[in-house]
Amino acid sequence: MTDRPVTDRIELSQPDDWHLHLRDGAMLAAVAPASARHFGRALVMPNLVPPVVTTRDAVAYRRRIMAALPQGTSFTPLMTLYLTEATNADDVAAAHAEGVATAIKLYPAGATTNSQSGVRDMEKVYPVLERMAAIGMPLCVHGEVTHPEVDIFDREAVFIASVLEPLRRRLPELKIVLEHVTTRDGIDYVRSADRNLAATLTVHHLFINRNAMFAGGLRPHYYCLPVAKREVHRLALRAAAVSGEGRFFLGTDSAPHADAAKEAACGCAGIFTAPNALACLARAFDEEGALDRLEAFASLNGAAWYGLAPNERKVRLVRRPAPVAYPGRIETDDGPVTVFDPMLPLHWEVER
Ligand code: NCD
Ligand code: ZN
């Protein structure tokens, strides 16, 4: 029992998702409505096959996304370009100036799903990074090293020490987002920066630690990259999310894969949270007694960091007495896709 007053309804500026995988083709058509229903804007990841590398690619992909949205939605996809060792600094600057790309995404080659075209040698991308620093264009980083000799649970910490810190020393003016941070070390590092560093946090990393992947057997729907870590890390992520600090904001990393691709001998990394992301978040903030800071995390901090106004539209979240039934999976022409199961009842619902 607590004597905290019970809040049953909160209103906030419509949230944005600062890290989202919308895919392409049949999968795009099936998953885009789930994000468009709840979020005002989303920063769309470029790791298609082939990746979204040039301004032209981003314009074409944005058009396909708009075509996949239900009539009458006001959802705005904000595009990213996939940084390769051949990326052209002028093209990046033009994409920024024309408002086609909001950020550039750095995937260390081999770090995650569809990252084979990513960066092997950071020296090769410095001309692009220097230009980005000069024009104020943010870099979003998948913060994991890929060397096979580094334990998978240490890859984020090693990336921070061996790649991120040298990069920030060399280019302190570059705005960087450490995406889907999963460790206490990452949180501490982001907090230690005097400026130009922020982090996104996913929904699922606020709920699961690494045990979820092995609970009674191998559970592929809890496998994502960066992989969930120990409980101390999950608790540090929660504390950062509810802190209200402007440098931490929501990026769901909702990453759908057909069940057949996940339930396989070599299953894909990625957790699909778009349909129940806000319901899960409300539960997490409620548990932490921090519902009054949900708006900062989900709707205000990210927009401010990207230099945008919050969405004008408001959404209301309502706590229902009985658990709300969210679909366990959605059907797509590529087969069913399992939705994230937080293993706890969800009582919150977006009121419409
Ligand atoms: C993402 C995907 O499937 O595209 N997977 C994941 O586990 N998060 C890629 C990524 O963001 O790492
Ligand atoms: Zn991602």
Q: Between the CA atoms of 175, 178, 180 and 185, what dihedral angle is there, to the nearest 10 degrees?
A: -150
Strand-pairing partners, residue 33, are none
| CB atoms inside a 10 Å sphere around CB 69 | 18
pTM over 0.95: yes
- Beta-carbon contacts of residue 55 (< 8 Å; ≥ 6 apart): 81, 91, 94, 95, 98, 100, 101
**Most ligand 1 atoms within 8 A of CB, residue of 18, 19, 21, 180 to mutate:** 21
What is the side-by-side strand order in the sheet with 197-201?
17-20, 41-44, 76-82, 101-106, 139-141, 176-178, 197-201, 248-250
Between CA 23 and CA 9 the distance in angstroms is 33
204 touches ligand 1 (CB under 6 Å): no
Q: Tell me the CA–centroid distance for residue 227 and ligand 1, in Å.
A: 10
Averaged pLDDT in 10-residue chunks for the chain of 352 residues: 72 98 98 98 98 98 97 96 97 97 97 90 97 98 96 98 98 98 98 98 98 98 98 98 98 98 98 98 98 98 98 97 96 98 97 82
Residue nearest to atom 9 of ligand 1 (CA): 113
Residue nearest to atom 4 of ligand 1 (CA): 113
Question: Any idea which ligand is nearest the CA of 23?
Answer: 1
Catalytic residues: 253
Can you list the domains of the chain with their CATH numbers?
9-350 (3.20.20.140)
Per-residue pLDDT, 140: 98
Closest among 232, 175, 223 to 199, alpha carbons compared: 175
**Nearest ligand 1 atom, CA 179:** 11
Strand-pairing partners, residue 48, are none
Q: Tell me the CA–centroid distance for residue 21 and ligand 1, in Å.
A: 8
Phi, psi of 158 (to 5 degrees): -70, -35
